[in-house]
């Protein structure tokens, strides 16, 4: 679905400037559906729309680059990841909020991340470049709470290890994701 397909239609104030043929096939199908009298309910119209409260990405990093090719065996992946802000204010945690970032993710003892509790790292920090620590912790909590099933703790730790040691992560050969790219990916796994 394109960005334009997601936008609500604006009421027309003048006659349409474009002929009906310029409508996408999906848009034309929706209009035929509505003309048939079946689209009177707002609930029915939203069937083909992207739900407001869904994750954009429901696959590991290498799978997110495959151009929409979907292949999974067994049950579909769980895609209900929560944001750092959710975990920051949420009262139930799947682990102790006082465990340190350094006990989950490898980093030097001299690093500001090392002794910072995972609860504290959810507060924005100037030294947390691109908020990578916040999003790593939120994703970690999403994994261990079962809110996402397409990533493992080990995969997440490998992403961090590459970023921390090399400055980038390779989701696939020849592709480099820097901290901002990884944060964009992780945000896509969250509601």
Whole-model pTM? 0.68
Distance CA 53, CA 32 (A): 27
Note the pLDDT tens digit of each residue in 20-58: 445 555 555 545 444 544 444 443 333 333 344 456 778
Distance CA 170, CA 64 (A): 12
Residue ranges covered by each domain of the chain: 3-48, 61-188
pLDDT band at 59 (very low <50, low <70, confident <90, very high): confident
């Amino acid at each position: 679905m394109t960005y334009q397909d997601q936008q609500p239609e604006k009421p027309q104030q003048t006659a349409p400037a474009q002929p009906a043929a310029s409508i996408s096939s999906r848009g034309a199908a929706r209009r035929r559906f509505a003309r048939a009298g079946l689209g009177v309910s707002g609930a029915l119209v939203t069937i083909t729309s992207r739900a407001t409260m869904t994750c954009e990405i429901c696959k590991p990093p290498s799978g997110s680059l495959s151009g929409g090719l979907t292949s999974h065996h067994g049950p579909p992946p769980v895609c209900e990841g929560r944001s750092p802000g959710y975990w920051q204010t949420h009262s139930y945690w799947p682990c102790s909020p006082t465990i340190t970032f350094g006990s989950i993710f490898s980093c030097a003892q001299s690093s500001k991340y090392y002794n910072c509790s995972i609860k504290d790292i959810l507060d924005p920090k100037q030294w947390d470049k691109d908020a990578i620590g916040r999003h790593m912790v939120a994703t970690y909590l999403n994994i261990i709470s079962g809110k996402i099933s397409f990533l493992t703790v080990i995969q997440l730790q490998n992403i961090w290890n590459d970023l921390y040691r090399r400055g980038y992560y390779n989701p696939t050969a020849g592709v480099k994701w820097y901290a901002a790219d990884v944060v964009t990916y992780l945000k896509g796994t969250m509601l």
